Structure 1
Amino acid sequence: MTQFAHDTVVPVKESELTKKEQVAEMFDDIAFRYDFLNRFLSAGIDIRWRKKAIKQLAEKNPQIILDVATGTADLAIMASAILKPTKIVGIDISNGMLNVGREKIAALNLQQTIELLNGDSEAINFPDNTFDAVMVSFGVRNFQDLEKGLSEIRRVLKPGGKLVVLEFSKPKIVGVSSFYKFYMNVITPAIGKMFSKNRGAYTYLNESIKKFPERKNFTNILDSLGYKNTYYKPLSLGICSIYCGEK
């Protein structure tokens, strides 16, 4: 498997824990503030991004969906409302995030549709050809081994099944790019420190975005792993991108 630059970006460089262990610990620390900070830092635009990602699956009418790195289940809950599937399984390595997600699912009485499990994207505990669709929102940057995670996702997809990935990217337009760099380098870490007890979480966010293989580089990786009909769509002047591929 190829190692990519972002695979080596970790929340705490001095730690002896693996990236996976550090990421789980980091999200456990920020889980109680995660949804608030998402809305606050993105000015609510992340809700529109998720809706656009989910709509990439609409033509497939998927009935059994896997949400990888589900976090607090925002994407799973939204997909349940938009796509009306029979079942959504969300997996994540952070129990703190899953606990927040389960509270939200219970409040909406969606326990029969959405199930959250502790699970590793690089060793998905389901048989081959299980899911009609797989979704990942803001999670692939956190994979310890990107190719391994994407290969596992392809394995559990049914033939003809579709993957949709939502991930941050770097805007290319000069003025937008300058503002974005200032926002990510200065504003985001400062706000993150104000509201989160994990001071490094939002610095890690910025570093992992900088080194992530975005746009065509990411679809090339999907192509190399055997995905078909791959494409990407930049959103909000390139701050975020949707990536898709089929098995």
Structure 2
Amino acid sequence: MAEAKFHSIYKELVKRIKEKEYTTMLPTESRLTEEFKTSRNTVRRAISMLNDNGFTYSIKGRGVVILESFEEDRWSFDAKKFDGIETIKGDNAVSTRTLVTDFQKVILTEEESQRMPFSAGEFLYKVERVRILNDKKMILDLSYFKADQVPALSQEIVEESVYDYFKKNQMKIVAAKRRFLVVGATQNDAEKLELGTYNCVGVLENLVFNDLGRLFEYTESRFVPGSFDLSYFVQNDGDQ
């Protein structure tokens, strides 16, 4: 699928901001429209993404101000719109690979149901994937999909993008509930991730709902500490 024009402009502007080509203000909409040979609305969509992700702030009558930033050796992503590895790839210059370490259709046991938002006896697809960033095993995704709420999954599908597959099958995903916590590392974490001296992991729990309001996915994304930050950008839209 071809990349949307506004998104390619957004990525180019992010690159220029990070490389200090722009330090205080973005060029005017007119200049950007002329440079990228596109419509003013397309440029505005790119600038809106910059604002949403904390790179800039639009001030009426002045233009688009570039917000000060600092460099950290971490991969950053927006917790508000986190969609797994694709979000990290989109927000950072990083090479990624996915290793599927477990895929099976299971019946949820009574014991497992105590720590998941599903009922004992339900049929689920269990998917375990190790996310490799810059050749390091940094994220362990433990996902459970309700078999009666999603199109049939296979090993080949989960090795690619599950969400792209859902979209191709006209499945509508409308909402998610998330929480972040830190827990002690399990034996499985130690075996699958490059934890080094860490004895804990960061966990982003993700409960995802379809357009009928049905919960169809529960995922734990388990992160190596010290290598990620979750951001949430807030703007003051009122007058000071």
Give the structure-1-normalised TM-score.
0.27
- Between Structure 1 and Structure 2, which shows a larger proportion of helix residues? 1
| Larger-gyration structure (1/2) | 2
- Between Structure 1 and Structure 2, which shows a larger proportion of strand residues? 2
